[in-house]
Each structure stands twice: as C-alpha cells, then as structure tokens.
Chains A and B, each alone.
Chain A
Amino acid sequence: MDIVDELKAFVATAQTGFFTAVADQLGVSNRLTSKYMAELETHLGVRLFQRITRRVGLTPEGEDLLARAPALLDDLDELLNDVAESSHGFSGVIRISAPVTFGEIYVGAMLGRFAGLNPDLTLDLRLNDRYVDLATEGIDLAFRVGESDMLSLKARKIGTFRSLVVASPAYVEQNGVPETPDDLLKHSCIVNTNRHSPRRWVFRRDGHESSVNVEGRLQVNSARAAAGLAADGLGIANAPRFAVREVSPRARSSP
C-alpha cells in the first residue's frame, strides 16, 4: 500500500475510531488495516493511535495529521480529476444556482451552449430567488446580481446590468412622460420586491446620484413580471434590461 492509501486508511480510521469502518470503506480486512496503520507510523516515526480495547483514539501527532490530511487528499483527488479531464474532456456534475428570471432568460440557454461543447458533463441548474447556502446545498457555482457580502464566498464579476424605467405607450399617453426622477412620485410605480431596496429607485446624471422613493399599489417578486405589468399599461416599472427585453414590443423604456 502506498502513502496515499495509508493516509486514506488513517483518515477513515481516525474519523470513525474503528478499523472495521476502514475495512468497509476501502475493501480491505481488519488485519490488513492494522498493518497499514503500523506501516504509516513506522514511515513517519511517530505513534498516531492510542488503542483502547477495540476502539482507537488519536495521539497529539495523530490529531495534527487528521487536521490536514483530509483537505490534502481532497486536493489530490481534484488534481488527478483535473489532469484526467484535460485529456478526456470534462465529466461529472456541476450544480448551478441562479435567480429565477435571470436563469430562465439567460442561464438555461447559456448552459445549453456549454453542454454542447462538453457532451460528458451533467449540468444541474436550480432556480431560486431566496438566498442559497452553497455549502449546505452542494452548489458548485451561483450567479448573483448585486454585491455579495459573504466572507466565505469568492466572486468573479462577469458583467453589469443597467436598469431601465419602462411603461406602455398607452400609459404614457394617458399619464405623461416623467422627465426627472422626482416626476415618478406622481405616477403609479410597479415595485419589484426582489430588489434590495424595492421602493428606492436610483439614477445617475452627470456623475451625480439621486434617488426617489416611489409609490404604487402593485408589487411583485419578479423583474420580468414587473416589466410585464408595465407593458400591460398598469404603471411604470424599473427592471434590468434582460427582463425588459422580453416585453419590449409592448413597453417603452427610459433612460
């Protein structure tokens, strides 16, 4: 047995406290497991286990090894998988999370294009507008709109969305065109409750930022639904361009 297998046997034994568990996991006998542990201790020149009847406990050196060995074995597995994938193409599963509207409009189609280039890869897309915990839900990659303040996450920016204010031609004809953000206070605004601050609409002009707290009787937890309600003449919505594009034949946008 080489050092990698000895380490795997050590981790399994240390985590369960029994040689029998290693026998089940690695498919070797209890006697051989004991032999491998003895070989590892000889190899390192330290005792790793304190044998207490049938159960085994760890020495301080064993605790040190257990603290680092599982991550090392995971990294080694990933390295070997990466090398194998580089010669055979990607395989296995990638679990992806995305907001519902963005996922339906863009991510699904994008994954279809990526899947076409990687025929042995399985892609599992989960659409959800609630906060998704990547660690507990086994998600490899999540697309997020807005700033992420989670310290346990790394983020790579892949784009910037511009929001548009939209209304139907019929609404504009009946209620007029707002010329400034403050003019929105006189209008029925459709509130997308998925936004971080749903009623606070922010604008920039000549490098200066201004905001207005809009009013309206209609609110919905979907940018696409908000743009759709605006397209149907029920008020003015503030939605990302990707959501507006879906209803653009029925809506007029500004800025």
Chain B
Amino acid sequence: MEGFEGESSRLSAVYLEGRTLPRKVRALINFAAEDIHSADIL
C-alpha cells in the first residue's frame, strides 16, 4: 500500500475543567509531553 498513510489519532492528557490544576499534575503532563517523543512510539 505504497503512498497510503494510516489513520492518525490524537493522544491527549485530560483533566477536569473548573478547578485549578495542581502543580504536580501539570508537571507530570509536561514530563509526558517531552518524554513520549524520546520513547519512539508515536
């Protein structure tokens, strides 16, 4: 299937709206966003 690209899916970190996100959770999201690009799985 040369030339065809497979479906792409968005990976998100989700959390509840309407409350302040604790710093430790924000830090984990930032860490995951950087780490996943070095993990070679996307």
A-side residues, CB < 8 A to B, are 74-75, 78-79, 81-82, 85-86, 90-92, 94, 96, 102, 105-106, 109-110, 113-114, 117-118, 121, 134-135, 140-148, 150-165, 177-181, 183, 201-206, 238, 240-242, 245, 254-255
Contact = CB atoms under 8 A, between A and B. Distances in A.
Given A145-B9, A156-B13, A242-B42, 18 more contacts: A78-B22, A85-B24, A90-B24, A110-B39, A134-B15, A140-B15, A142-B14, A154-B17, A155-B12, A158-B13, A158-B29, A160-B11, A162-B7, A163-B7, A203-B1, A203-B4, A205-B4, A254-B4
A37 B1 CA distance: 74
A161 B8 contact: yes
Closest 9 CB pairs of A and B: A163-B6, A242-B41, A90-B24, A155-B12, A158-B33, A202-B7, A159-B11, A203-B4, A204-B5
Nearest to A109: B39
Contacts of A86: 23
Nearest to A180: B1
B22 A165 contact: no
Contact of A134 (B4, B16, B37, B40): B16
Given A110-B39, A156-B29, A163 B8 contact: yes
Contacts of B10: 145-147, 157, 159-161
Interface residues of B, number: 37
Interface of B: 1-20, 22-25, 27-29, 31-33, 35-37, 39-42
Nearest to A166: B6
A172 to B, nearest CB: 12
Contact of A159 (B1, B7, B22, B42): B42
A145 B17 CA distance: 19
Contacts of A148: 12, 14
B31 to A, nearest CB: 5
Given A142-B13, A162-B6, A205-B4, A92 B24 contact: yes
Contacts of B17: 151-154
A78 B40 CA distance: 35
Given A90-B24, A162-B42, A241-B41, A255 B31 contact: no
A161 B33 contact: no
Contact of B6 (A79, A106, A165): A165
A154 B39 contact: no
Contacts of B4: 180-181, 203-205, 254-255
A151 B14 CA distance: 11
